[in-house]
Structure formats: structure tokens, C-alpha cells
Amino acid sequence: MKRRCILIQACAVAVVAMAAGRVDAQTSGKWTGTAYLHVDGGVQAATPGFTSNVTFKLYGEDGTLTATYTFVNAALIAGRGGFRIWGNLGLGVGVSRFSRNGEAAISARLPHPFHFNQFRNVSGTAGLTREETMVSAELSWLLRPTRALDVMLFAGPAYFTTRQDMATLPRYTETYPFDAATFTGVESRAVNKTGVGFTAGLDLSYLINKHMGLGSLVRFSRATETFSAAPGSASSVTLGGVQASAGLRLRF
């Protein structure tokens, strides 16, 4: 998915460059407005998964739970707004938010109630939600290759607020003689973390009239934070990723 987005972005940049070359001769390329506001809906691409390991006490012995979290695409809402501060340079703020039900592969070693070192292995999957909000300060450079087309390149620091459901204990059923157990799910807790990273992207707008248009955006954001499902457990988690969105463009 990331490769596809990068490919689309590269194509877009190439097209913009070609278009800009043609337009140079017939437009000034100047941004004459004062402000912009974008409202988008789109997709947060799948992001790298991570693994958490939790140790827990059961039957007088340590058991372990390993959760491997993977994330598929998620719907997102996003918005950007800002002002022209000098020439084609603008300063603005971006916001995006998504919530997705990731699926974690769970494997656990359950101590036996009657014997040491006689573990029962159980495994399964569990749906664990991640919500992520990114707020970014963005310095933008706007190109106007034609009267109808705005090309905005932007980058800046990003602040992430993330709520991740993390597996803390396995749920299972077991019956005498307890030599095997059946996985039924996990106990989880929501871990809230914030982190600072960066964002950069490309926004293309096609203006229907002087103040309104439609546009699309591709951006890449990244931050890394450490999440802890339980005391003694730490997982390095990648936040952000590739976003693609489209929506309304307003110019003032």
C-alpha cells in the first residue's frame, strides 16, 4: 500500500512539474489569495505492526502472552487551513483522525495448574482498536501552474495523540485434566500516548471558481512511541503513515 501511494505521489509530482513547465510561459504562478481551508475524507494506509510481550502470573508460575498487532487501511477525516504569509509561502495547521479495528494475533503460554514447566499453548486473534489524531503545523509552498490548479507542497512537525487497545491477559477455557486450554479472547486495556514527529505531503486542488474547488492530498507522517501493555512490557510503535484523501477546497 505504501508503495502504491508513493507511486501515485511521484506521478503527481511529475505531472505537476510538466504542467508547471507549460504554465510558466502563460501564468505568473503567483498565489494571490490570503487563506485556504480544506476538508477531506480518505484512507489511512496500513501501518507497520508491532509486537507486545506480557508476562503474567498464573497457577504460581509465569505465563506469557505475545500479541502481534497488524493494521489494515482505515477511513479518516482530515482538514487543513492556513494563511499566505509571504509570496507563495503559507503557514497552516492540519488535523487528521482515524479509528480502526486492528487484528492482533495472540499466542500465550499458560502454566499448568498441577505441574511446573508444563505449559499449554493457545492462540487466536483479537480485535483491538487504535484511534489516532494528528495535529500538524505546516509550512506550505503553493504553485499555481494554471488558473484552475493549485499545487501545494507542505511539511512540518506533527503531534500525535493515540489510543491503542493492548492485550494484557489471555482469556481461555480449560477443563480437567487441564492438559490443554482453548483460547477465547483477551483482556485488554487502552493505552494513551502522545508523540511528536513530522509530516510532509502534496495537495492538488482544482478550482471550480475563485473560492471553491475539489482536491486531493497525499501525505506521509511519522513518529515513534513506546507503548506498555503491562508493567515490564514495552513495545516500540510507529505512528502515522501514508494518508490519501480528497475533499472540498476553499480559497479566500
Partner 1 sequence: MLIEGRRWSIALLVLCLAAPVLMAARQAPGGSGAGTRQDRPREIGATQRADLRTWDSEIGRMVREGELRLRASETDLLLGGRRHQRFDQYHRGVRVFGGEMVRQRDGVETVSVFGTAYAAIDIDTTPTLSRQDAATAASRLAGTSRGPARTPDLMVVPRDAGGFALVYRVRLVTDDDLIVYFIDAGTGHLVSSYSDLQTEIGTGTGVLGDRKKVSTTLSSGTYRAWDQMRPATVYTFDLKGDLTRTQRFLNGLITLDVSDTSASTDNTWTDPATVDAHAYTGWTFDYFYKQFGRSGLDGRNLTIKTVVHPVNRADWNKVSSSTLNLYYLNAFYAGDGIMVYGEGLPPNATVGGYKWNYFAGALDVVAHELTHGVTDYSSGLIYKNESGALNESFSDMMGASVEFYYQPVGSAYLKADYTLGEDLTTPMGGFRSMANPGAFGDPDHYSKRYLGTSDNGGVHTNSGISNHAFYLAIEGGTDRTSGLSVTGVGSAARHKIEKVFYRAFTQMLPAGATFSLARAATIQAARDLYGAGSNVEQAVTQAWTAVGVS
Per CB under 8 A, does 168 bind partner 1?
Answer: no
Strand segments (E) across 6-45: 35-44
**Which residue, 85 or 148, has its beta carbon nearer to partner 1?**
148
Q: Which residues contact 35 (CB under 8 A, 6 or more apart)?
A: 81, 82, 83, 84, 251, 252
Per CB under 8 A, does 185 bind partner 1?
Answer: yes
**Which residue, 157 or 171, has its beta carbon nearer to partner 1?**
171
Per CB under 8 A, does 49 bind partner 1?
Answer: no
- Quote the CA–CA distance of 184 and 1 in Å, as a whole number: 32
CB 56, min distance to partner 1, A: 13
User: Residue 167 is placed in which grid cell?
Assistant: 492485550
Per CB under 8 A, does 10 bind partner 1?
Answer: no
Per CB under 8 A, does 186 bind partner 1?
Answer: yes
Residue 75: name the closest of 117, 34, 46 by CA: 46
Q: Residue-wise over 161-177: b if at least 16 C-beta within 10 A, else e?
A: ebebbbbbbbbbeeeee
DSSP state of 113: S
**Which residue, 164 or 245, has its beta carbon nearer to partner 1?**
245
- State the residues that interact with partner 1 by CB under 8 A: 1, 4-5, 8, 11-12, 15-16, 18-19, 22-23, 25-26, 41-43, 45, 59-61, 72-75, 101, 103, 106, 112-116, 124-127, 129, 145-149, 171, 176-179, 182-186, 189, 204, 206, 214-218, 244-246
